[in-house]
């Protein structure tokens, strides 16, 4: 597989010198969906922030419905047909119904009621394992109770710039009778194309991060969002098919990636684990993980008319730079 890229050149007259100047923009196409992405010269579009997240956490804590003492009273329960207790717990993680549903079956799962403040560098493998396990149990329970709902995804908006309306860190599950646009596009890709993409990245090496067992991790060739990573697991197509070993392995990979984001100065991320219906022949369960702008007053959103209205990524953090920053942590 040839990874498609094209160089564009912009010409302008420098306002300081009055001389002509040129800028190069690289346009890449995602090998799976064909989405295009613009890799810009480094312009400082994703600045690190010295915003005091811990103080903001304390300020937003009074009245937080996900904190201890309130989570049981203020969050909605699941219907008894999904779970007799109304909530699903795994370790410290607690999963409940999403008050603001996005689908027939919408869940919210906190890493822990006690973790109102949870910066990226402190999201451990254990916390991720428990939270993912709660979401997997939710997907399984929904599919058993409502066999039409076969499309499951596990997602995260972490911190306000990512779309999270509540500060308290959590994941979100969606299980529905129909796919989202991206789930549909990803399931239309052939098994051969997934194999060819991963083969190409393994061979080229510059964006390939490693294999944690069943999951292969790469930096996106044509990212939709900054510092975007992808992971693929052949042989399973839905989060509902993740067993305890695979949940722990996925949690390990996510913890490595979030630790790297923390080192790179990022505080906010989105994640989507795109499920297809279970036992989907040739579809590898896969995910996207990407950074969002840091939380601070008058911040610049990383999502512009290009991402929102043209469905086109534009990032000034080159994927190859992200891969070098992450280094060999997936190979240890």
What residues line the site for Zn ion (CB under 5 A)? 64, 66-67, 116, 168
Bridge-based pairing of strands 215-219 and 208-211 is antiparallel
Nearer to Zn ion, 74 or 234 (CB): 74
CA distance 151 to 19: 56
Q: Are 56 and 295 in contact (CB under 8 A)?
A: yes
CA distance 115 to 93: 10
Nearer to Zn ion, 37 or 172 (CB): 172
**Min CB(61)–Zn ion separation in Å:** 6
| 3-class SS shares of the chain: helix, strand, coil, % to 5 | 30, 25, 45
Nearer to Zn ion, 167 or 208 (CB): 167
- Eight-state DSSP code of residue 50: -
Query: Sheet of 88-90: strands edge to edge?
Result: 88-90, 93-97, 105-110, 170-176, 151-158, 268-274, 285-292, 229-233, 215-219, 208-211
Paired residues of 315 in beta bridges: 39
Residue 203: partners with Cβ closer than 8 Å, 6 or more residues away: none
Nearer to Zn ion, 95 or 143 (CB): 95
Nearer to Zn ion, 62 or 84 (CB): 62
**Min CB(56)–Zn ion separation in Å:** 12
**Min CB(78)–Zn ion separation in Å:** 20
Nearer to Zn ion, 37 or 107 (CB): 107
Residue nearest to Zn ion (CB): 64
**Min CB(74)–Zn ion separation in Å:** 11
Nearer to Zn ion, 67 or 242 (CB): 67
Residue 204 backbone dihedrals phi, psi, to 5 degrees = -70, -35
CA distance 98 to 103: 10
């Amino acid at each position: 597989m040839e990874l498609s890229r094209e160089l564009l050149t912009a010409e302008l007259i420098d306002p300081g010198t009055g001389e002509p100047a040129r800028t190069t923009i690289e346009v890449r196409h995602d090998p799976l969906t064909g989405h295009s992405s613009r890799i810009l010269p480094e312009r400082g579009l994703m600045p690190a922030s010295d915003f005091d997240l811990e103080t903001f956490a304390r300020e937003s804590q009074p009245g937080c419905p996900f904190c201890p003492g309130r989570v049981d009273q203020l969050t909605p329960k699941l219907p008894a047909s999904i779970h007799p207790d109304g909530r699903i717990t795994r370790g410290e993680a607690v999963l409940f119904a999403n008050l603001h549903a996005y689908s027939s079956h919408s869940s919210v799962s906190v890493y822990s009621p006690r973790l109102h403040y949870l910066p990226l560098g402190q999201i451990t493998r254990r916390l991720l394992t428990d939270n993912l396990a709660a979401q997997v149990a939710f997907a399984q329970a929904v599919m058993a109770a409502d066999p039409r709902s076969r499309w499951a995804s596990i997602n995260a908006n972490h911190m306000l710039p990512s779309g999270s309306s509540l500060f308290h860190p959590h994941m979100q599950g969606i299980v529905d009778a129909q796919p989202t646009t991206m789930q549909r596009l990803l399931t239309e890709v052939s098994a051969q194309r997934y194999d060819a993409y991963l083969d190409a990245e393994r061979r080229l090496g510059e964006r390939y991060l490693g294999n944690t067992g069943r999951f292969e991790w790469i930096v996106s060739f044509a990212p939709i969002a900054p510092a975007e990573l992808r992971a693929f697991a052949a042989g399973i197509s839905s989060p509902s098919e993740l067993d305890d070993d695979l949940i722990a392995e996925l949690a390990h990979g996510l913890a490595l990636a979030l630790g790297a984001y923390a080192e790179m100065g990022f505080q906010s991320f989105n994640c989507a684990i795109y499920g297809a219906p279970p036992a989907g022949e040739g579809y590898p369960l896969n995910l996207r993980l990407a950074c969002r702008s840091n939380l601070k007053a008058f911040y610049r959103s990383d999502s512009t008319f290009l991402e929102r209205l043209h469905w086109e990524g534009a990032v000034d953090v080159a994927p190859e730079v992200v891969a070098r920053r992450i280094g060999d942590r997936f190979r240890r």
